[in-house]
Amino acid sequence: MLAALLVIVTAISLRAEVAEPAVSDSVVEELQLAEDNGEIVEPVSVDTALPESKVETHTIMGASAGYRFFSLDEDAGRAAQFEYLHSSPVFNAGINSLGMDSKFVLEGMYLNEKDYHGDLYYDYKGAYRLHLRTESLFHNLFAERLFTPDAPGLFGSNYLARDLNPGARYGLSAEQDQAEFRYKLNDYPIHLNLGYWRQVKSGNAQLIFADHAFEPLGVDNTVYAASRRIDRQTHEGNLGLDAHLGPVDIIYGFKIRQFDNRADTPRDFFISRPESANEFIPRIGGYQQHNEDPDSRYYSHTVKIHTSLTGGIVGAASYTIGKRDNRSSLTDIGGANRTSDTLQNVAGDFVYTPCMWFSAALKYRRQEVDRDNPATITSIFAATPLAVRPAIDTSRDVITATFSLRPNSLVTFKGEYKGEFTKRDNLAFWVRPGISATVGLPENSMVNRGTFTILSRPVKGLRLKALYGYTATNHPGYGNSFDKKHEGQLLATYAYQSRWGATAYYRVTRENNDSKSITTLSLFNPSVTYAMPLQKRVNNATASVWVSPLDRLTLTASYSLLRWKADQTVLFSGTQPGSNVGATDTNQSQMFSVNSTYRYNDRLDLSLVLQQIHSRADFDPIFMSLSPTESTLGVRDGSKIKLVESSVAARADYSFSKNLTCSVEYSYRDYDDRYSSLYDGTVQIVTALVGAKW
**Residue 203 bridge partners (DSSP):** 172, 230
Cα(685)–Cα(690) distance, integer angstroms: 17
Degrees, nearest 5: CA angle 656-662-663:
135
Burial (0-12, 13-18, 19+ Cβ within 10 Å), 592: middle
How does pLDDT run across 666-675, given as a tens digit for each residue? 999 999 999 9
Number of domains in the chain: 1
Is the pLDDT at 193 greater than 90? The verdict is yes
What digits encode the pLDDT tens for the residues 215-239?
Answer: 666 778 899 999 999 999 999 999 9
Q: Is residue 366 included in any domain, yes or no?
A: no
Query: Of 647 and 5, which is predicted with more confidence?
Result: 647
Confidence check: pLDDT of 297 > 70: yes
**Nearest by Cα to 376 from 360, 366, 390, 392:** 390
Using alpha carbons only, give the angle 659, 665, 668 rounded to the nearest 5 degrees. Answer: 170
> For 140-146, what is the mean pLDDT?
91
Residue 427 lies in a domain: no
Q: Which pLDDT value is given to residue 678? A: 85
Rounded CA gap, 352 and 316, in Å? 12
Q: Are 375 and 277 in contact (CB under 8 A)?
A: no
Return the higher-pLDDT residue of 364 and 10.
364
Which whole number is the average pLDDT over 269-274? 84
pLDDT of residue 31: 32
What does the pLDDT read at residue 268?
A: 95
Determine the structural domain holding residue 156 and report its residue range: 142-293
Instruction: Give the CA angle between residues 274, 279, 284 to the nearest 5°.
Output: 25
Please provide the average confidence, as pLDDT, over all residues in the chain. Answer: 88
pLDDT band at 53, cuts 50/70/90?
A: low
Mean pLDDT, range 332-337, rounded to an integer: 90
Q: Is residue 149 part of a domain?
A: yes
Judged by average pLDDT, the poorest of 10-19, 142-151, 412-421 is 10-19
Per DSSP, the residues of 325-349 read EEE---SSEESGGG-EEEEEEEEEE
Is the pLDDT score of 42 beyond 70? no
Q: What is the pLDDT of residue 478?
A: 80
Q: Higher confidence at residue 272 or residue 467?
A: 467
Dist. CA 545–CA 496, nearest whole Å: 12
Indicate the pLDDT class of residue 2, thresholds 50, 70 and 90: very low
Quick: pLDDT tens for 554-599: 999 999 999 999 999 998 887 778 888 999 999 999 999 999 999 9
Q: What is the DSSP letter of 313?
A: E
Lowest mean pLDDT among 300-304, 624-628, 676-680: 624-628
Assess whether pLDDT exceeds 80 at residue 18.
no
Residue 617 near residue 637, CB atoms below 8 Å: no
Confidence band for 528, pLDDT divided at 50, 70 and 90: confident
pLDDT, tens only, 72-93: 999 899 999 999 999 999 999 9
Q: Evaluate whether residue 441 is within a structural domain.
A: no
Residue at 262 is within a domain: yes
Question: 149: cis peptide before it, omega within 30°?
Answer: yes
Give the 3-state secondary structure of 491-550: EEEEEECCCEEEEEEEEEEEEEECCCEEECCCCCCCCCEEECCEEEEEEEEEEEEEEEEE
Q: Which residues contact 527 (CB under 8 A, 6 or more apart)?
A: 433, 434, 519, 520, 521
Residue 586 inside a domain? The answer is no
- Asked, for residue 326, whether it belongs to a domain, the answer is no
The pLDDT value recorded for residue 342 is 98
Could you tell me if residue 398 is inside a domain? no
Asked whether the predicted pLDDT for residue 255 surpasses 80, the reply is: yes
How would residue 28 be classed by pLDDT, with cut points 50, 70 and 90? very low
**Predicted local distance difference test score (pLDDT) of residue 25:** 39
Handedness of CA 436, 377, 341, 425 (dihedral sign): negative
- Higher-confidence residue: 575 or 266? 266
Task: Quick: pLDDT tens for 612-630.
Answer: 999 999 999 998 887 777 7
Between 201 and 532, where is the model more confident? 201
List the single range of 9-13, 415-419, 434-438, 463-467 with lowest mean pLDDT: 9-13
Global confidence as pTM: 0.85
Q: What is the pLDDT of residue 218?
A: 73
Residues 400-411 pLDDT 10s: 999 999 999 999
In the chain, how many H helices and how many E strands?
Answer: 3, 39
